[in-house]
Structure 1
Amino acid sequence: MKTNVISLLVAGTIACASQQANAFSQETHKRIVIDAVNYMQQNPSSTEYAKLSAWASQLNLSVAQLANLLGQAAYDVDDFEDTFFCGAITGSCVQAPIWGAAESIVKYTSYWHFQNHTQGPDQHGNDFGGYNYQKLTVWGDIDNLAATWLKGDYLDDGRGGETGWFGSDSSKYNSYGITEANYRIDGHSHYNMYDDFEEMPFQPIDHLGQYWYQKFIESKNPQILGFVFHTTDLLQPHHTWVTSALNHSGWESWVKDYYDKEQLNDFSKVTQALEYYSALDANQQDIRPILTQGGALSYSQGGIVLNSKDHYDRVNTGQVVIPHAIAMVVHLLNHAVVQL
């Protein structure tokens, strides 16, 4: 397949420019992916770098250009316009709260970016669920603000029948019939799960990754593969302890600011981190086991950065979770390029 840099809209999902984020910062997501490609380039004998390089050539790209494309796609996932909540009374459907930018809740799509390691199986039958305000074991002001602001608000179901008072409804996007359905993998849902925000059991981020990985297998499109790499949110402890508060935004800004200053991407630590993961079987296409391994690692580290702003506490955590995020992407890239 020969093509130039590809930009596409998939399943009605639109990415648009934003400088805010509510996971690892978008810049950090991009750096993690680029560092994973650089690591493979520096370690061709222990990775599938030769296949990655050959793929770049088929795409008429340099390896550096391919890394940038993949990283940009990982960045873009925070900007998806695929999740709208509608007012319980007004029926007005929006993709973000008006106060969101100030509190790092820029788009509601971010609620699909969690994997709850503090709870057991969820209502969908997943081993680990996603964000669910009713099931949080740690939470703070932003979680409470969202649940209060959105109390009774419902997930946009297109023309599915849910409305505000007197039948009012300004549906913008069938988030239940498209987004939730896409991420409903090997599980079950019914719409009543999503008619009150404060009780919504969002699908976990490993399902987001699996959905886009399967789309990559079908299309061999590098941008779609880049979407998969947003799952490095699983190495962000707030996303496995599950809270929008408790120093969430401050920690992510710190990681961006000190990524290079504290050498959080130390490749010697990436080499060690690679050993933590069980390599994916080339004949299997379910990548969720390795994603969950990453989530378990961040959960084991997470209490510190949820409760401390101390620089050296953050250094100690960052020097574990960032190398593991890079290592997880290396494993995913190794698996992806042998599927081509």
Structure 2
Amino acid sequence: MTKQHLIAALLIASAATSQAHAFSQETHKRIVIDAVAYMQQNPNTTAYAELKQYAQQNNMSVDILADLLGQSAYDVDDFEDTFFCGAITGSCVQAPLWGAAKSIVKYTSYWHFQNHSQGADVHGNDFGGYNYQKLTVWGDVDKLAATWLKGDYLDDGQGGETGWFNADSSKYNSYGVTERNYRIGSHSQYSMYDDFEDMPFQPLDNLGQYWYQSYLQSGNPQVLGFVFHTTDLLQPHHTWTTSALNHSSWEGWVKDYYDQEQLNDMSLVRDAMDSFSALDPQQQDIRPLLTQGGAFSYAQGGIILNSEDHYDRVNTGRLVIPHAIAMVVHLLNHAMEQR
């Protein structure tokens, strides 16, 4: 198949879809704002007093802080930190030419998975991230991306991997910066990233841990907000691990029905709080909590990969969204305890 034919096929396959970065950016923001609202409604069982003090120390109200944290969770999908380079041309880009069809908006989204259908990965993580060779469920977008990007390599900066005849237009050292940042507690070598079709991306919980450590060092609320993009772990497509199988239509449905179907019902959030084991305030590794969220969505949400029935989606949404909100509350509680 030529690349021209592949573009056409991708446009057709993507025509009925929207963005494929799991929960929509708007939903990510709403989840965080609702987590702060839950804390405000339940000050005796959460670290709301500490959160209010943190807001005051940053010269803002709690509502403004909630908006800032939510916007930061939203912004992670816009990171310009991951470039793939053509196996022949050496041309490095952060999104496919067919990104206008919004199947894969930016390659940074490949760091936003935690594959619960497989065990430990080659890096030594308990659960790996996106890896086309390790998928147990997949669909058109996964297959087409692997075909389009066959042989393409992760940008490793000037003087690293190149296309033919040393062609290389490196834009960003994605291996030396992004992958290194998300390598926490694991190991890598560049040969793992020289062909897209078998790249073992670092899992999303490592992304969350990196930004959490950065928050602990800086105290910056924007950096703390980046951590909360890990609510993707409550999106079943990101724990079953596929860019297809109703991924985009589910994302759009959650955004459209978030309020109408009361997916953020605070009584459901209260119940979900008890399903997590709270983090030890003496420990700074938040990944055990994040993995709990991933295990829940993997166990409870598989039906939405194969069903677009409204009530199947309501039932799943009223499970995973309250748990996503609860997970953020637990993370905020822990973050405030570390101050």
Matching residue of 1:256: 255
Identity of aligned residues (%): 80
2:183 matched to 1:199? Answer: no
Give, in angstroms, the shift of residue 101 of structure 1. Answer: 3.3
SS in 1 for 2:122: coil
Residue 302 of structure 1: CA displacement? Answer: 2.4
> 1:200-279 alignment to 2 at 5 Å?
200-279=199-278
The 5-angstrom pairing of residues 69-218 of structure 1 reads 69-218=68-217
Partner of 2:24: 25
Change (3 A) 1:50 1:157: same
Ranges in structure 1 where 5+ consecutive residues have no aligned partner:
1-18
Q: CA deviation at 1:21?
A: 5.5
SS at match of 1:163: coil
Paired with 2:76 and 2:141, the residues of 1 have a C-alpha distance of 21
Query: Taking structure 1 as reference, are residues 129 and 160 closer, same or farther at Cα in structure 2, changes over 3 Å only?
Result: farther
Contact 1:132-1:198 within 8 A present in 2 as well: yes
Asked if 2 retains the 8 angstrom alpha-carbon contact of 1:21 and 1:78, the reply is: no
Q: Is the 8 A contact 2:19 2:102 kept in 1?
A: no
1:267/1:40 CA distance change after superposition, 3 Å: same
Which position in structure 2 is the counterpart of 1:335? 334
Once residues 251 and 23 of structure 1 are traced to their aligned partners in structure 2, the CA distance between those partners, rounded to angstroms, is 8
Deviation at 1:104, TM superposition (A): 2.6
Cα shift readout 1:103-127 (whole Å, capped 9, x = no counterpart): 4300000000000000011000111
1:120 and 1:207 mapped to 2: Cα distance? 16
Query: Which sits farther off after the overlay, 217-226 or 297-306?
Result: 297-306
Distance in 2, matches of 1:203 and 1:132, equals 9
- Structure 1 vs Structure 2 CA RMSD: 0.9
Count of residues paired in the alignment: 322
CA distance in 2, matches of 1:21, 1:144: 14
Q: What amino acid does structure 2 have at the position aligned with 1:314?
A: R
C-alpha contact 2:20 2:243 (8 A) present in aligned 1? no
Residue 51 of structure 2 corresponds to: 52
TM-score, with structure 1 as normaliser: 0.94
Q: Distance in 1 between matches of 2:51 and 2:109?
A: 30
For structure 2, which runs of at least 5 residues remain unmatched after alignment?
A: 1-17
User: What CA distance in whole angstroms lies between the structure 1 residues aligned with 2:266 and 2:336?
Assistant: 21
Superposition misfits of 4+ residues, deviation over 6 angstroms: none
Could you tell me whether the CA contact under 8 Å between 1:103 and 1:142 is conserved in 2?
A: no
Instruction: Report the TM-score when normalising by structure 2.
Output: 0.94
For residues 274 and 160 of structure 1, the distance between their equivalents in structure 2, rounded to whole angstroms, comes to: 49
Question: What is aligned with 1:309?
Answer: 308
